Amino acid sequence: MKDFSLFTSKTICLPQKDIDTDLIIPAEFLKTTTKEGLGKHVFCNLRKTDSNFPKFNGPRILVTGKNFGCGSSREHAPWALKDANIDVIIASEFADIFKGNAEKNGILPIILTEKTVQKFLTSGEDLSIDLKNKTVKDSENTFYSFEITDFAQKRLLENLSDMDFLMKFSTEIRRFDTKQKR
């Protein structure tokens, strides 16, 4: 698990909006029964048709157009991005299922205004992420605050799973299950 508290990284910029999970990882790669090794196929169809498509060879931050991760619920999409070294994705809006899946795999989705995202997409500058203080810093030392619930922040900083929380309620859950109709 990489440290989320503070880091600076180059960015990968994909300005297109509405990037769907079929584009992130096409269905042909869903025949796997493990989570590993999907990084080399990330965006493979876009890569095929665009020789200038950015390489996922180190940068930890992806900046992209709004509604990123729409479509299929495949968790293979965040698995592929994580395997391709991505820890943070910045956009003005994320699709619900993708956002939840990303957070559960140690990826931090950061929502900033469309204007700020467009600035980062245009400049391609390095960015610094500070999850403890909930800020993004650009190359001119301007800070941009982002929102994240205390719960989600703690989960990422301490590498917790929802299971750590759910397990505490096993007695209540068992009682509920017994009285609940099937």
Partner 1 sequence: MNKNIIDKIWEAHQIHCEKGAPDVFFIDLQFLHEVTSPQAFEVLRQNNWKLFNHKRNFATIDHSIPTDKSRSAWEDTAAKFQVETLKKNCKEFEVTLFDCGSGNQGIVHVIGPELGLTQPGKTIVCGDSHTSTHGAFGALAFGIGTTQISHVMATQTLLLEKPKTMQVMFKGTPSKYFTPKDAILALINQIGIQGGTGYAIEFCGEYIQNLSMDGRMTICNMSIECGAKFGLISPDETTFQYLEGRQFVLDDFEIAKTHWKQWKSDEKAYYDTVVEVNIDGTAPFVTWGTNPEQSVQIHENIPSPEDFKDPAKQLACKKALEYTQLKSGNPIEGTPIDYVFIGSCTNSRMEDFKAVAQIIKGKKIHPNITAYFVPGSETIRAQCVNEGFDKIFKEAGADFRYSGCSMCLAMNGDHVPEGKRCASTSNRNFVGRQGTGSFTHLMSPEMAAICAISGKITDPKKYFNTPQNQ
> In the complex, which residues of this chain contact partner 1 (CB under 8 A)?
16-18, 20, 22-23, 26-28, 30-35, 45, 48, 65-67, 70-75, 78, 93, 95-97, 100-101, 104-105, 149-151, 162-163, 165-167, 169-170, 172-173, 176-177, 180-182
Residue 127: CB minimum distance to partner 1, A: 22
Cβ proximity to partner 1: between 59 and 65 the closer is: 65
Residue 75: CB minimum distance to partner 1, A: 4
Neighbour order of strands in the sheet with 143-145: 7-9, 127-130, 135-137, 143-145
Cβ proximity to partner 1: between 141 and 171 the closer is: 171
**Which of 143-152's residues contact partners 24+ apart within 8 Å by CB, and which partners?**
144/112, 144/116, 146/110, 146/111, 146/112, 147/111, 148/108, 148/110, 152/103
Cβ proximity to partner 1: between 8 and 32 the closer is: 32
Cβ proximity to partner 1: between 57 and 163 the closer is: 163
Distance CA 11, CA 2 (A): 17
Residue 162: CB minimum distance to partner 1, A: 4
Distance CA 121, CA 169 (A): 44
